[in-house]
Amino acid sequence: MTPLAPTAAPHAWLARQSRWSWFEVVFWLATLLPFFLFPTYLTLASQVAIAALFAISVDLILGYAGIVTLGHALFFGLGAYTVGLLSARLGWGEPISGLLLAGAVAGLVGFVASYLIVRVQHLALIMVTLGLGFLAYELANAMTWLTGGTDGLRGVSMWQIVGTFRFDLWGYTAYTYSLIVLFLGFLVSRTIVNSSFGLALRGIRENVTRMPAIGSDHSWHLRKIYTISAALAGVAGGLLTQTTNTVGLDVLSFQRSADVVVMLILGGTGRLYGAILGAIIFLVARDQLAGVNPQYWYFWIGLLLMVVVLFMPKGILGFLAKLTGRRD
Amino acid sequence: MKTKMMFATILAAGLSWSVHAGAQETVKIGVILPYSGPFADAANQLQAGIDLYIAKHGSEVAGKTIELVKKDTGGPAPDVAQRLAQELVVRDGVDIIAGFALTPEALGAAPIATEAQKLMVVMNAATSIVVEQSDYIVRTGVTIPQLNTAFGQWAFESGVKEAYTLVADYGPGHDAEKAFAAGFTEAGGTIVGADRTPVANPDFSAFVQRVRDANPEAVYIFVPGGAQPAAIGKALSDRGLAPPDTKIFAQGELTHPEALESMGDTAKGIITTYHYSLERDDPLNNEFREAYREANGGRSPDLFSIGGYDGMHLIYEALKKTEGDTSGDALIEAAKGMAWDSPRGPMSIDPETRDVVQTVYIREVQEVDGELQNVIIHEIPDVKDPLHGTQ
């Protein structure tokens, strides 16, 4: 890899960035391993894929555009409730259209919220995202007639995917479906971050006052990426509803917003694979540790988080990249 | 050819599995509870109830050994509960799923019980609808309408004509408000006002002032356990709302032992409805209470403990009835109509709804030997959940 330097042909540089490396091919082939090696862990694998998609959506704004958020569960929950309400109240359980609608609803709300988001920075930004998250949670709690409140939404049932594949007890369908959606979401995100738009975002992250000086409309860029991120989070939420047939208030909870940031910090921000790695580590560690001791497993997550933050400030993936001598 | 091969493989796999199943000498019970997070205390009390039953009756029943597989949901998380139930069935090969302190988690796991045809024992989750979600669900805890509809009727019969309700603004609070009001107004009473307090904000003074201004004969209160009972008790006495001038009605959480300790004398005269009374003088209960305290460092059992204890009793008795057959259909048939004497009093499983039928105790806080206690002043036997079949 050549060091980052002004180049005569920016398009050629971008094209080089978006070339697939052997590491990526191996990684995606490895995502098929659970089918053969751990067929009894497929439901967990499916929830890892969903968490990874959610983490990617947060990485787009947090890792690339520098928007620190503690309320992204708002969009995850919107997607989850869109799919849930569509099925429970209107009787429409077709998965693919449901997923698209979940993304559209979350994206629309994300677009409206983005006008607020671009006005604030730093601590105020965290507070605004946090506040939006709490508002959505309380709203869903208060609208019990619609959302089922703390009891959760009842009567969600999904049709077969393209009329053929039923969501089975072992999770074969759920994992295949989640993995395909994750891969598509990843492709979209990868294309974005390796485009000139993606570069503009990194510019905003590094120096927000300088971007207008070189003629870049930074607030429009931020609004755009926030909307895209919200839509992706909505798709992830919709996916969770479809693969579990349940929606509860927890999809909107602060815990979910915080967990996804923890995943990103563990894996490494600003690199899409960090989001996926973080989701794998968080959920697998949680499953295994909780199996050993159901009461105090959070202790180990806390310890892991501290070790990573202290010794691997760029996350586990950043640490590995440094070991192998690859530049960021 | 290909299909034949596949059929043969499936058959072979099925055979080897059933041989394995026939040889097994254990009955695996998957326990799904929020062992960590905000409801960890409830989960631990419920688990202690389960453990006490096993310690007392041994881990062998109908020639098989009972083995628990515990899984943590980390809070009200229906999607996690659903996944854990699924994994317990396909990976751990459990025969029975149990636990379920929280309604959303029971609702999340219910479809798995149906699909896998496994007995599902709901040991606490207290919303009426839970047992309707699968034909394999049976409940050994309590339902909020069961306690409060009967209580509302009794309140009117005891001479109160007007009441004000003040409940926490969340699912169980709404259910309690509705159930008490239904029982009370059907009997002929009038609800003169209804208010809801935020779940996470225990500053009750403004709400209590509104009750004071309405000056009702009685006020019905529902708040979650923990720090809130003491806070609302203090707010009530600060505003001069106290028995006998104003009657205070509540569900049993309000006056559980720890809350009574912090409320002190202001608690005297509060009347509560509950299905388990710690001090009820009964040989079974006395033995249960003492053994529980001994095993848990002096901590007293509560509604979670008794739900877990009786849940295990149901599993043991059902296994004895089926002579070790662990199929969901056999176990649920064995559970229907089962009746027994529990430390809480006589109870049974309704053969139609698979829900718990039990005595509702009306208790008043009185001083006994210098100590505040919930003294039973009235018993309503064989109360069913009033909402089944009406929704």
pLDDT, tens digit, for every residue of A86-132?
998 898 889 999 999 999 999 999 999 999 998 888 899 999 999 99
As a whole-number percent, the residues of chain B with pLDDT over 90 amount to 60
- CA dist list (Å): A67 to A126, A202, B45, B187, B387: 9, 11, 42, 59, 49
- The mean pLDDT value for B284-294 works out to 94
In this prediction, residue B20 carries a pLDDT of 44
* Pair B372, B225 in one domain: yes
State the amino acid at position B244 in one-letter form.
P
A284 in B contact zone (CB under 8 Å): no
pLDDT score of B50: 96
Quote the pLDDT of residue A327.
54
pLDDT for the residue numbered B381: 92
Nearest to A298 among B36, B103, B171 (CB): B36
B4 assigned to some structural domain: no
B167: phi then psi, degrees, rounded to nearest 5:
-130, 155
| In a shared domain, residues B318 and B364 | no
The alpha helices in chain B, defined as continuous H runs, are 2-23, 40-57, 78-90, 103-116, 144-157, 171-187, 205-214, 228-238, 257-263, 283-295, 303-321, 328-335
Amino acid at A29: L
CA A86 from chain centre, in angstroms, equals 22
As a whole number of angstroms, the longest Cα–Cα distance in chain B is 86
Task: Tell me, yes or no, whether B304 and B325 share the same domain.
Answer: yes
In the prediction, which pLDDT does B24 show? 52
What pLDDT score was predicted for residue B389? 63
Closest CA to B208 of B173, B177, B242, B185: B242
Task: Check whether residue B118 and residue B159 sit in a common domain.
Answer: no
Q: Is the pLDDT of residue A295 over 80?
A: no
Report d(CA A240, CA B328) in Å as an integer.
28
As given in the structure block, the two tokens for residue A138 are 């309380």
B31 and B113 in a common domain: yes
Cα B234 from Cα A7, distance rounded (Å): 73
From B164's Cα to the closest Cα of chain A, the distance in A is 21
Same domain as B190, residue B338 = no
Q: How confident is the model at residue A213 (pLDDT cuts 50, 70, 90)?
A: confident
pLDDT tens-place string over residues B70-99: 999 987 888 899 999 999 998 899 999 999
In whole angstroms, give the CA distance from residue A275 to residue A317.
9
Report yes or no on B6 lying in a domain. no
- Residues of chain B with C-beta less than 8 angstroms from the C-beta of A296: 36
pLDDT score recorded for residue B262: 80
Lowest mean pLDDT, pick from B9-18, B103-112, B201-210 = B9-18
Distance CA A321, CA B219 (A): 65
pLDDT of residue B4: 47
What average pLDDT score do residues A257-274 get? 92
**Is the pLDDT reported for residue A206 higher than 50?**
yes
The answer on B267 and B155 residing in a single domain is: yes
Q: Are strands B356-368 and B271-274 parallel, antiparallel or unpaired?
A: antiparallel
DSSP state of B76: S
Facing A152 at nearest CB: one of B44, B87, B104: B104
Answer left, alpha or beta for residue B75, where phi above 0 means left and psi between -120 and 50 means alpha: left
> Which residue in A has a C-alpha nearest to residue B132's C-alpha?
A154
Whether residue B379 is predicted with pLDDT greater than 70 in this model: the reply is: yes
Which chain B residues have a beta carbon less than 8 Å from that of A144? 171, 174
Q: What percent of chain B has pLDDT over 70?
A: 92
Cβ of A144 under 8 Å from any chain B Cβ? yes
- Let me know if residue B5 belongs to a domain: no
Cα dihedral across residues B251, B257, B263, B266: positive or negative: positive
* Sheet hosting strand B119-122, strand order edge to edge: B60-61, B64-72, B26-33, B96-99, B119-122, B137-139
pLDDT confidence tier of residue A8, bands split at 50, 70 and 90: low
- Are B159 and B210 in a shared domain? yes
pLDDT reported for residue A12? 80
What is the number of domains present in chain B? 2
Residues B129 and B204 in one domain: no
**CB contact at 8 A, A53 and A232:** yes
**Would B133 be classed as within a structural domain?**
yes
pLDDT digits (tens, 9 = 90+) for A23-81: 889 999 999 999 988 888 898 999 999 999 999 999 999 999 988 899 999 999 999 99
Nearest chain B CA: its distance from A37 CA (Å) = 13
CA distance A238 to A234: 6
> How large is the average pLDDT for residues B269-292?
93
For residues B158 and B244, state if they share a domain.
yes
pLDDT recorded at residue B144: 92
**A145-160 in b/e burial notation, b at 16+ Cβ within 10 A?**
eebbbbbbbbebebbe
For B364, the domain range is: 145-274+360-383
Residue A93: which residues within 8 A CB-CB, separation 6 or more?
A86, A87, A156, A157, A158, A159
pLDDT tens digits, residue range B330-377?
A: 999 999 999 999 999 999 999 999 999 999 999 999 998 888 889 999
Contact B79 A291 (CB under 8 A): no
Residues A60, A67: Cα–Cα separation, whole Å: 9
Q: What is the pLDDT of residue B57?
A: 94
- Name chain B contacts of A245, Cβ cutoff 8 Å: 82, 111
Which pLDDT belongs to residue A210?
A: 84
Given CB atoms, is B87 within the 8 Å cutoff of chain A?
yes
The 10 Å CB-count burial string (b at 16+, else e) for B34-64 is bbbeebbebbbbbbbbbbbbbeeeeeebbeb
Cβ contacts from A onto B, under 8 A:
103
Residue B8 banded pLDDT, cuts 50, 70, 90? very low
Beta-carbon separation of A150 and B108 below 8 A: no
Please state the rounded mean pLDDT for residues B281-299.
93
Q: What is the pLDDT of residue A218?
A: 83
pLDDT at A1: 45
**Could you tell me if A38 and A45 are in contact, meaning their C-beta atoms sit under 8 angstroms apart?**
yes
Mean pLDDT of B128-147: 92
Digit-coded pLDDT (tens) for B31-64: 999 998 888 888 999 999 999 999 999 999 988 9
**pLDDT band at residue B13, thresholds of 50, 70 and 90?**
very low
Is B390 inside any structural domain?
no
Based on its alpha-carbon atoms, the radius of gyration of chain A, rounded to whole angstroms, reads: 20
Instruction: Report the amino acid identity of residue B374.
Output: N
pLDDT of residue B9 exceeding 70, the answer is no
Q: Cα–Cα distance between A255 and B37 in angstroms, integer? A: 10
Contact between B161 and B192 under an 8 Å Cβ cutoff? The reply is: no
Supply angle C-alpha A44, B30, A290, rounded to 5.
50
Q: For chain A, what is the mean pLDDT?
A: 88
The dihedral region occupied by B39, where left means phi > 0, alpha psi between -120 and 50, and beta the remainder, is alpha
**Alpha-carbon gap, residue B274 to B251, rounded angstroms:** 6
The CATH number of whichever domain residue B34 belongs to comes to 3.40.50.2300
Task: State whether B151 and B225 are in the same domain.
Answer: yes
Residue B187 in any domain: the answer is yes
- Please judge whether B87 and A169 are an interchain contact, meaning their C-beta atoms are less than 8 angstroms apart: no
DSSP-derived pairing of the beta strands B371-383 and B356-368: antiparallel
Q: What per-residue confidence (pLDDT) applies to B165?
A: 95
My answer on whether B202 and B317 are in the same domain is no
Q: Does residue B67 lie in a domain region?
A: yes
| R_g of chain B computed on alpha carbons | 22
Question: What's the pLDDT score for residue B12?
Answer: 43
Q: Which residues of A fall within a CB distance of 8 Å from B115?
A: 169
Top pLDDT among A12 and A267 is at A267
